[in-house]
Structure 1
């Protein structure tokens, strides 16, 4: 398979597999970022994939819980999740939809499955906020599936553009401080595509179906279902798939700030964490 890659092509610096985990009231999931093996890819603090057609794995959901100091991004592939918060917001995430939530200074919300059986499949990504934005006003971007453009930038390649830009298509997620790229990329067998990612952004490829390769000057590395490839710096990402596959391609501007985290709170210092716990317990969220 030939690739026209310039010297600026990003390569895979390491490949990690996710670990089984449980969160909320016992939702079984795979944690890919936020583990002893891969603590973070600044500005990304956590990536979970939940996928099960066993109701017992997900029905308990994520009852009321607080967040402060970062953003949560939920992307549903299958199933339905009802979201509610203490500001009176409520929304239903269906297949193909995205919720980009900026917790900012504090929010208390729940995410509960709105189905009793069938496949529940999706991702949750945590995106850090810089110190200057940690106490910002909470906000939600609830994006229905039909608002996300699906483009074909190369033969046999379909990209759902959630954040960032592919050719003339701009994702509906805008105004996020880390200037993120979030693409859902599907390849037919033998397809290839050179994705452009802003210089200086840190990023990763997470394969959730099939397998693909990332080619650079020092050769290609393959990433298979359930594996995440951390990307080096550079301009473009040369992706190809011999047998077909699907992946998330995600990148954002690194913050380079100290991270103090305790459960659902992510701040810069231990004192700010203590304050977050106190504020939450005093009902100030």
Structure 2
């Protein structure tokens, strides 16, 4: 009979505020800000965005993956590799920028989109991989049900349930729905960084009970052995995101939309983008151009 897993405690809770983004129709809340790379490794950024049309324009990335999780509205992705997807609430898209991509994500029909976007660092060996898009449909995701909870698995694993999502950097991302007073215990692999983001309601979590409410982000303590975190909803129930990933422990050099391992590699990324523009990241002759509604 296996022994119970050690319970992780909550290391700290932050309460970032919304501020003006790129336009009056864009509000942004930095849940994970850039710069403290060792503390958040392999995660680089987590932004909560509310935005309307004509806020973002086509822009490049290299050296990262982005997970865009749609809370409300509709969102269309299209890129210069020809991938296109429309996301509805609960859907997500995992974009591997690899050696280069130019993409845009814009609200459909002029309505506001409410999203979380998580930037995940790519290992040095995979930073120049081929770009790809993986739409993750709410209705098709693995679902774990228990006493008062439902868990949708976007990436990684929950116990014996493993997501089919392809990862260069192993990470878990789950949507947890809890009825009032319900408890869910999530197992955590050894040596992973883990955070919780309540979207609605409030929960108690951790070995030493910590209160976490919508609008906050909670980081768990780091443990080198297998562990778990127990989460219990308050009287109104709760919906939250849990993410966990194993640190890469590699040098991080970041500038704008590019994340590499050195300043020299960043300079090369900018030089490549200036030279290639719409063909950034495309190595073979193609008629593909960045346009809304391109086919997969």
Using the size of structure 1 for normalisation, the TM-score is 0.88
Gaps of 5+ in 1: 52-56
Change (3 A) 1:37 1:82: same
Change (3 A) 1:20 1:109: same
CA deviation string 1:53-106 (max 9, x = no partner): xxxx42224210000000000111221111111112221112221110110111
- Cα distance in 1 between the residues matched to 2:95 and 2:159: 26
2:153 match: 161
Gaps of 5+ in 2: 282-296
Q: Quote the offset at 1:214 in angstroms.
A: 1.1
Preserved contact between residue 143 and residue 172 of structure 1 (Cα < 8 Å): no
Change (3 A) 1:133 1:37: closer
1:222 match: 211
Q: Quote the offset at 1:37 in angstroms.
A: 8.5
Which residue of 245, 269, 282 maps to 2:275? 282
CA deviation string 1:240-282 (max 9, x = no partner): 1122111100001101111111110001111111111111111
1:54 match: none
CA RMSD of aligned residues (A): 2.2
Pair 1:232-2:225 in alignment: no
Preserved contact between residue 71 and residue 90 of structure 2 (Cα < 8 Å): yes
Describe how 1:246-285 pairs up with structure 2 within 5 A: 246-283=239-276, 284-285=280-281
Which residue of 66, 84, 94 maps to 2:88? 94
CA deviation string 1:144-197 (max 9, x = no partner): 221113321x311111111122355332423x1221111101111111111112
- Cα distance in 2 between the residues matched to 1:100 and 1:13: 28
- Cα distance in 2 between the residues matched to 1:281 and 1:23: 25
1:10 match: 8
CA deviation string 1:207-231 (max 9, x = no partner): 1111111131xx2111111111111
1:68 match: 62
Change (3 A) 1:257 1:168: closer
